Structure 1
Amino acid sequence: MPDDTTESTAATDQRRITELIADHPWVAHIRPGPDGVLLVTPRPSATAVLPTPGPLVREHLAHWAEVYEWVYETGEGRHADDLDLSGWRTSGTGEPLSAAHMRDWVDRTVELILAQRPRRLLELGCGTGLLAHRLHTRLDGYVGTDVTDVAVDRLRAAGLPRTAFVRAAAHEAESSAVRQAMEGVFGPGARPDCVLLNSVTQCFPNLLYLTAFLHHALAAVEDGGTVIIGDIRHSALLEDHFGRMERARDPEASDADITARVAAAVAADGELSFAPEAVREILAAHPRTVRMSVHARTMAEDSELTRYRYDLVLHVGPTAGAPDASEVRRLPWQGPGGEQLPAELRAALTSGPVVLHGIANALLTDAPDAVTPYDLRQVLTGMDAAVLLDPADPRMLAVAAPAHCATAAAHPPADALAGRLAHEPLPAFVRRRLPEVLRDHIRRTAPGTVPPRIVVDEASEASG
């Protein structure tokens, strides 16, 4: 049996460890849990986004910066200076996405951007320059930012006319370096008429960070301009996404096993996803007039980029010729699919400003008259129309004609909204990272001490 001295030493060590953790600047509270576990609550300042990111948020962002710095440095997907696909891999297998599919992805993105008629574009998170190489010749000026040195250095070395590249994160859009770059490219006092954030939001820690970005972007863009948020992961489709992956990995698993695995995969998912309605709620508190359109990805290949992602275009301030939502008819699509679709759909769109919604997406449903976003794009070739997501149900599509009526489609009935508003990765990151930091803190400040099991207090998370 342990003697009193041993018990006294253990109690002293426990108190010392508790005091060391309690004194850490990232910890607000500590309490004992079952089986010797220490339950900790992070300080709100450690997970804050505004006015500046707290240390745990900075660590989350630094993690992604390190990932992309390494990915771009290795250059495993670098086909050419203007087609560096490093990092573009499928979630299920890790295999590179095909170059043909990615060219289609780039072309569709460029098409959406140019449809807004930008002249001075600020891209936050420009990566390897897939868009910069294709856009700069169509603009009066282009400024790109990225969090990686390797991407910024390569794009600067490319010497693209009327461009500038700056190392900066999305929340640093108002930094002096970015302002100076815009002054140099756009001209003194000129503001961008388009702010672009494409395939970046998955790296954001939470909706508060997205909110901060949107407020910076909306403050930067001039009246009549746009903020484009592209390649967004839809939070209401996470179960479908992970369900397909788990079923492909284990075709013989029971439905109950797949459901459990999907729930675990969603909980552990390290990327931000959100529904359009999350952005609508953010915009409701903004003083500027902003109209939103929700666009489907219309690439030919059936991949996660086509199935589970979408684009948002935010039209900022008064816009000449913009239709009032009350002037646009919203009609449920009840027409056929198959060979009859082109004629009937085109005919339905010629009767003035109209949005046809409730078109089943064949990539996500097995409805008999379902069509793919690519099918709709092909049908609408030569027409002034836009292929959209039905915001009431991400498994459905919509079509607006003329295309500038797309904002009228983004107003579903409140009781029609389905699925989670957002999946935020920061809580899972904090649950993993904060105990690591605290154990390292104990080892440094009390050499030879064996750190106990440290867990982020779920009760504090729930109350927060």
Structure 2
Amino acid sequence: MSASPMESGPSPEIEIRGRTVRTDEARRLIEAHPRVARARLEVRRSPSGNGAADRLVAHVVPEGPSAAPAAPEAEEKRVGDWNRIYEWVYGDMAQAGGLGDDFVGWHSSYDGTPIERSQMCEWRDATVDRVLSLRPRRVLEIGVGTGLLMAGIAPHVERYTATDFSPTAIARLRAQVADVEWGDRVELLVGRADDLSALPASHYDVVVCNSVVQYFPNARYLAGMVTAALNLVRPGGAVLIGDVRNLRTLPAFRTAVMAPQLPVDPVRARAAVELSAYTERELAVDPDLFAAVLAASQDGAALDLRVKRAVHHNELSRHRYDALLYRAPLAAPAAGTDPVELGWGEEVADIEVLEKALSALPGPVRVSGVPNARLRQEVEAARLLEALADRDRIVAALDGAPDAPDPEEFHALAERLGRVAVLTWASTGAPDLLDVLVLPGGTDGPVAAYRPADPSPEDVSRYTNDPTRSAAAAAFTAALASELAATMPATLLPDDFVAESDGRH
């Protein structure tokens, strides 16, 4: 996203709490600080109209790289913070459902309410089905949590090993599996995702890490875990990194979440969303990261990356995806590498036209640039925000009907024709665009649907945000306020400092 304009307001002077502040002089003194690139000042008026409660706020862009790699101590602190949070959650939570049905803690980011049970079951079942479609005998799950996936997979395999960094979670699951008939095939271990050294190499058919990587501290940590996991699966086996938050759709997601509370002023509204995305506390990952990790791995053979199967439209189906990485050698080449190419809006205009085209094309067919009904409104809202549209237009865009096909329509079409559809993110264009690959019925094994734009194994940090920025921003503004208080006249010193994004992710 582009940076917000750094302006001091329409007047070179601001009246606040009985004093006159020359904004150009205050800004000059703030920008003279070596860690400040740009600054702007504004008055935050009290909602009650009490002028004595008004605040002078300095919005500052830090000097230097906006995405510097996290220091080892910051990385360790990040992992430790999540560990403490989940130790408390698992220790405090009451049993809300049977094994595999405990959805406590799954709340919507849009309104804070629990996500409907039917939607959570759909989300869980889609991942269970994906794992079982690989026909594994030995499975390892990294980050088992409350056992949502384990309960659906373990009864169908010979051995299920699961780890979690929470001793409380593992103790809870051990007590639960003791009462089920398949409990003797389950092994539960306390362990971190970045230390898999105690597990046997080339042993598992599938390694699963689902809805976990958003708690990782950075791209390097994620890439290291994926590389280590590939070493644990047998040749031809697969590593499923599931429920990954998409970095490309993060601006649209934050726009939708914040829309009802956005400031009326368009510049402030855009700055608020940019700051929210910039300081996002969970790891969001560009799909190209997995292509980069695969390219750097001696064990990697194929990447099968797909959007999630779901009838319901929610943040899980809109903004998350699954990456399946296969270890070499493969029994057969990945499917879909040489399809007939069609463009949405060019050779194909709608589902009916596509159905007619497929009737004449029995082999693999790729349809590129397909708009995604799940995301259409949020991406349009983000576009309006970027263009400084007013808040009412942004909210109206979110409430409108999407002018796009639902992803599940392509699966239904393929099933009618006895074919298989695989949907993945388009590597270029707007973040709501998909590529649809239609394959002959019975296609098995990896599918080369995703086409990375620019995989760069040398620098995986470019493919994620930095979840440590939130804490870093707070530390930066606190230090800046303290240092400027010692050098600036009290009449010019802002009451509050807010760090803003420079527009780079």
Matched, 1:152 2:188: no
The Cα offsets for residues 211-240 of structure 1, whole Å up to 9 and x where unpaired, read as 110121111111100011100111011110
Tell me, in whole angstroms, the C-alpha distance in 2 between the residues paired with 1:405 and 1:237. 28
Matched letter for residue 243 of structure 2: D
Q: Return closer, same or farther for 1:275/1:373 CA change in 2, 3 Å cut-off.
A: same
Please say if residues 122 and 192 of structure 1, whose CA atoms lie closer than 8 Å, have aligned partners that are also in contact. Answer: yes
How many matched pairs? 381
Counterpart position of 1:370: 404
Instruction: Determine helix, strand or coil for the equivalent of 1:172.
Output: coil
- Which of 399, 413, 427 is matched with 1:391 structurally? 427
TM, length-normalised to structure 2 = 0.67
Tell me, in whole angstroms, the C-alpha distance in 1 between the residues paired with 2:274 and 2:95. 32
The Cα offsets for residues 262-318 of structure 1, whole Å up to 9 and x where unpaired, read as 111012210110111122122222112321121111211111111111111111102
Counterpart position of 2:225: 213
- Which of 463, 468, 478 is matched with 1:426 structurally? 468
Counterpart position of 2:364: 353
The Cα offsets for residues 92-119 of structure 1, whole Å up to 9 and x where unpaired, read as 3221111110000011111221222222
Tell me, in whole angstroms, the C-alpha distance in 2 between the residues paired with 1:378 and 1:255. 41
Instruction: Determine helix, strand or coil for the equivalent of 2:436.
Output: strand
- Counterparts of 1:134-145 in structure 2, within 5 Å, are 134-145=152-163
Tell me, in whole angstroms, the C-alpha distance in 2 between the residues paired with 1:135 and 1:345. 38
Instruction: Determine helix, strand or coil for the equivalent of 2:376.
Output: coil
Shift of 1:425: 0.9
Which runs of no fewer than 5 residues in structure 2 stay unpaired? 1-32, 37-61, 378-400, 456-461, 479-496, 501-505
Matched letter for residue 298 of structure 1: R
Counterpart position of 2:190: 167
Please say if residues 329 and 353 of structure 1, whose CA atoms lie closer than 8 Å, have aligned partners that are also in contact. Answer: yes
Counterpart position of 1:411: 451
Identity, in percent, stands at 29
Matched letter for residue 203 of structure 1: Y
Measured on the aligned residues, the alpha-carbon RMSD in Å equals 3.5
Shift of 1:147: 1.2
Shift of 1:324: 6.8
Shift of 1:336: 3.9
Q: Return closer, same or farther for 1:157/1:383 CA change in 2, 3 Å cut-off.
A: farther
Matched letter for residue 118 of structure 2: A
Matched letter for residue 143 of structure 2: G
Matched, 1:243 2:255: yes
Please say if residues 293 and 407 of structure 1, whose CA atoms lie closer than 8 Å, have aligned partners that are also in contact. Answer: yes
Instruction: Determine helix, strand or coil for the equivalent of 2:302.
Output: strand
Counterpart position of 1:65: 83
The Cα offsets for residues 238-258 of structure 1, whole Å up to 9 and x where unpaired, read as 1100111111334x8344332
Please say if residues 423 and 449 of structure 2, whose CA atoms lie closer than 8 Å, have aligned partners that are also in contact. Answer: no
Tell me, in whole angstroms, the C-alpha distance in 2 between the residues paired with 1:271 and 1:386. 28
Please say if residues 75 and 218 of structure 2, whose CA atoms lie closer than 8 Å, have aligned partners that are also in contact. Answer: no
Shift of 1:413: 5.2
Counterpart position of 1:16: none
Higher helix share: 1
Instruction: Determine helix, strand or coil for the equivalent of 1:266.
Output: helix
Please say if residues 335 and 446 of structure 2, whose CA atoms lie closer than 8 Å, have aligned partners that are also in contact. Answer: no
- Which of 206, 222, 226 is matched with 2:238 structurally? 226
Please say if residues 308 and 321 of structure 2, whose CA atoms lie closer than 8 Å, have aligned partners that are also in contact. Answer: yes
Shift of 1:385: 3.1
TM, length-normalised to structure 1 = 0.73
Q: Return closer, same or farther for 1:193/1:324 CA change in 2, 3 Å cut-off.
A: same
Higher RCO structure, 1 or 2 (CA under 8 Å, sep 6+): 2
- Which of 323, 348, 354 is matched with 1:335 structurally? 348
- Which of 277, 280, 283 is matched with 1:266 structurally? 277
Instruction: Determine helix, strand or coil for the equivalent of 1:64.
Output: helix
Tell me, in whole angstroms, the C-alpha distance in 1 between the residues paired with 2:366 and 2:161. 35
Q: Return closer, same or farther for 1:76/1:295 CA change in 2, 3 Å cut-off.
A: farther
Shift of 1:57: 1.7
- Counterparts of 1:77-88 in structure 2, within 5 Å, are 78-88=96-106
Moved more, 114-123 or 238-247: 114-123
Counterpart position of 1:129: 147
Matched, 1:315 2:333: no
Matched, 1:95 2:95: no
- Which of 186, 190, 213 is matched with 1:201 structurally? 213
Instruction: Determine helix, strand or coil for the equivalent of 1:232.
Output: strand
Shift of 1:412: 4.7
Instruction: Determine helix, strand or coil for the equivalent of 1:161.
Output: helix
Tell me, in whole angstroms, the C-alpha distance in 1 between the residues paired with 2:304 and 2:296. 18
Matched, 1:380 2:414: yes
Matched letter for residue 268 of structure 1: T
Shift of 1:201: 0.7
